[in-house]
Amino acid sequence: MVRIPEETGPRVRARELGLPLGRFKPGKYNAITDVEGVLVGHTTLIEGSGPLRPGFGPVRTGVTAILPNLGNIFMERMSGGGFVLNGAGEVSGMTQLMEWGLIETPILLTNTMAVGAVSDGVANYLVQRYPGIGDEHDVIIPVVGECDDSWLNDISGRHVRQEHVVAAINAAKSGPVQEGNVGGGTGMVTCDFKGGIGTSSRKLPEVLGGYTLGVLVMSNFGKMHNLRVGGLPVGEVLVEKFKNTPHRGKSYGSIIAVVATDAPLLSHQINRLCKRVGLGIGRVGSYAAHGSGEIVVGFSTANIIPRRTQKMVYKMKILLDQRLDPLYEAVMEATEEAILNAMCMAEPMTGVNDNYSPALPLDEVRRFVDACRPIFASVKKRPHQTSVPASKERPSDEDREGEVTLGSALPTQVRGAEGIPFPTR
């Protein structure tokens, strides 16, 4: 096996490479935890080396936990939804999620063969915390997503235990999120380079609602020649350099994405938002292969749906459908950057049978970006600029971010679902 000499410099996030990553600014941490109340924790399992001995290792896997609502999601549920681009994968609990439009358990990410153990771990955690489950309360179906890490991990050994699940939940916190070879992403591969956990966020300007949106991915998909980094065909350039390095051949892999936002959305709107995650995945080079699973789970923190209430109804704030477009754009940008963050932060890893997954060579990416920088520099840095029709009058529904005040961006100034302008005073 031929290995490319590894870079000795520190791993950095994609934004530090100077890549063009969209027009909206990230939040404080550029992570899903920028959405208030969202917590993330990991348990990482790395043990052993050499030949595969099922049940004994080597072990390269783990668990990642996403907790909405500061972990109190069972009693104070939130609107949820999802989308399946290609279904050669699994998110347990998604059938009920799509039917009810509710998130009521933490969201866990792990390897394919550990879904049962992780689901048991979440169930035990919640039953201990809420003893009335199955009696005074409904039963629960934990939301657990998976990807296949068998290129590097003894996946059939099922090394993830319930205590690892509880540890990830208890470790969940706000602030910066560890990325790369951590948690459920420990043994994952993306476009023949080391992948794993990545996250990113976007903060909309006040004129577009001021909402925050975050994406976290467990990235494990793709082939090197398809890789696009900031829209640049980096994979096509790197294929020649890594042609003698063995790659994962039997599996195209998968990706699970979790979207959180504080925009007040109903379930059908979250479903629509999750669909646009697929566009962000495609930006990095996925074509959603036959054996791949691109599955997205989303939730909104804006409304609480109480488990217990004496009332007949509850009230919700709901964003107009016509105001969703900036969120669509933001989720596409954040998804692309989250995947690139997973690759940029991941270290090279050797796993079962000495299978080797190299890290994305950041120096090569920098050289490619520097070569294209004159092109970037020629583009005017005015993200709010849009093409203007030949007529002197602008259409009333045009996105004029930065040119109008919040007070003038009234709902009546946008078109209805049928595309007919509403009259305004």
Active site residues: 254, 292, 294
Tell me which residue of 13, 42, 17, 44 sits closest to 30, measured CA to CA: 13
* DSSP bridge partners of 76: 306
Run of H or E residues at 276? helix 267-284
Give the whole-angstrom CA distance, residue 85 versus residue 80: 17
Contact in structure between 186 and 12 (CB atoms under 8 Å)? no
Tell me which residue of 80, 109, 112 sits closest to 96, measured CA to CA: 80
Starting from the edge strand earliest in sequence, which strands make up the sheet with 212-221, in order? 102-103, 76-87, 293-306, 253-261, 212-221, 196-203
Give the whole-angstrom CA distance, residue 370 versus residue 375: 10
Q: What is the DSSP string of 341-398?
A: HHHHHPPPEE-GGG-EEPPP-HHHHHHHHHHHHHHHHTS-S-TT-----SSSSPPTT-
| Ramachandran quadrant class, 285 (left: phi over 0; alpha: psi -120 to 50; beta: rest) | left
The token pair that represents 157 in the structure block? 């050994």
Contact in structure between 108 and 81 (CB atoms under 8 Å)? no
Run of H or E residues at 302? strand 293-306
Give the whole-angstrom CA distance, residue 143 versus residue 111: 14
Q: How far is CA 63 from the centre of its chain?
A: 15
Give the whole-angstrom CA distance, residue 292 versus residue 219: 11
> The dihedral of CA 11, 27, 230, 61: what is its sign?
positive
Give the whole-angstrom CA distance, residue 95 versus residue 206: 35
Tell me which residue of 213, 169, 178, 214 sits closest to 197, measured CA to CA: 178
Give the whole-angstrom CA distance, residue 73 versus residue 81: 15
Phi first, then psi, for residue 342 (nearest 5°) are -60, -45
